[in-house]
Amino acid sequence: MLAKIIFCIAVCLATVAVILLALISPPSHKNPSSNNPSRPLLALSLYIQQPQIDQRIPNNVPVTLSGAGALVFRRTLTEGPTNTSRVIGRAQGFIIPIEHFARSEFNVIYLTFETSDYSGSISVQAKHVASKGEEELTVIGGTGSFAFARGVAVFAETDRRSSDLDATYHVKLQLRFPHGSRTIPG
């Protein structure tokens, strides 16, 4: 009988302790902007530069079109619109613009950053690419400083030479990160 009384008192005290902790505990210090998922946590603006082809080197082609129509490219990322702007990384990708592959999950552009502020890469899915002046693509992930990033990448042509392959693009990134995984200072 004494064991039952001790058990009931222990359960009642534990219940009272939980209720008191819930009522007396200070509120959590949440950032009000983290409750709004539509607001970007990080916005970046950068440029994908035109390839610089050295005519003295044979077969120096930074963009390759295979016979089946695949587009493989490597470009330079800069802070500003000119080729002399500070280089912050590179853009590379593999896109198959053929009709039945145009909406493929494999059409991804990788933006790799190598600066003192950012180190890592962002993966941008090029699922709905058309040849118009501005494209809004989906950020599907990242590594390093951009781990688990999601968001939008807006590609806009700023300077077009002879073809789409020689165009310079202005890229605006609006990135969101899962709660607690944001490692970028700022």
Check: CB of residue 173 under 8 Å from CB of residue 139.
yes
* Helix, strand, coil distribution of the chain in percent, nearest 5: 20, 40, 45
Tokens of 101: 């592959």
Name the 3-class secondary structure at 33.
helix
Q: Which of 113, 115, 119, 67 is nearest to 92 (CA)?
A: 113
pLDDT at 148: 86
Question: In this predicted model, what pLDDT tens digit does every residue of 29-76 receive, in sequence order?
Answer: 555 444 555 445 788 888 888 776 555 545 544 455 545 567 777 889
Max alpha carbon distance in the chain (Å)? 98
pLDDT at 177: 84
pLDDT recorded at residue 28: 59
* Positions of the chain with pLDDT lower than 50, given as ranges: 32-34, 38-39, 57, 60-62, 66, 183-186
